[in-house]
Amino acid sequence: MTGKGDAGERKQGIALVIVVAVAENGVIGRDNELPWHLRSDMKHFRALTINKPVVMGRKTYLSIGHALKDRTNIVVSRDLSLVLPGCVIAMSIDAALGAAREDARKRGVNEIMVIGGNDVFTATMPMADRLEVTHVHASPEGDVFFPPIDAKVWRETTRVEYPKGPDDDAAFAIAAYVRR
């Protein structure tokens, strides 16, 4: 990863946005699944990502189980034999972001959405323009964690608290962060 995408994304007017749900203990996954069910947040996720390119790793795709409708699904994998219906396979983060930029231009949108997992988040965080974080008010056990959000790098711009709804395992907050 060269980090060259940082200035290039902004110059082209295409923002790189990380979309993630994170528990209070930093957990984002367990056994290749989300360790919670938040129907209210899934509506938010859909609204953020609809009609935009979404970049994810192979394990994230497999945890979802299918291509996300009305989005260009770009999956990062070095497995040349991988066949995922409805998806673009990219051999590297740089290739995935290149495909996402081209798709964003074709769609006339100004955002690329990065939706997981940990390796993809870690690789794209230095280039990201914004973080859209659902802070899950729970501390489940897990085996996948989100990198810490460094307050020296990121400034929280909005936060809305949501109570636990009838189809939610926990209360949560949705916050946006922009690069300082």
b/e sequence 134-169, b meaning 16+ C-beta within 10 Å: bbbebebebebbbeebeeeebeeeeeeebeeeeebb
Alpha helices in 12-170, H assignment, sequence order: 39-49, 58-64, 93-107, 118-124
pTM above 0.85, yes or no: yes
Contact 120, 60 (CB under 8 A): yes
Q: What is the pLDDT along the chain (180 residues), one digit of tens a residue?
A: 334 444 444 445 999 999 999 999 999 999 999 999 999 999 999 999 999 999 999 999 999 999 999 999 999 999 989 999 999 999 999 999 999 999 999 999 999 999 999 999 999 999 999 999 999 999 999 999 999 999 999 999 999 999 999 999 999 999 999 999
Domains and CATH numbers, the chain: 14-179 (3.40.430.10)
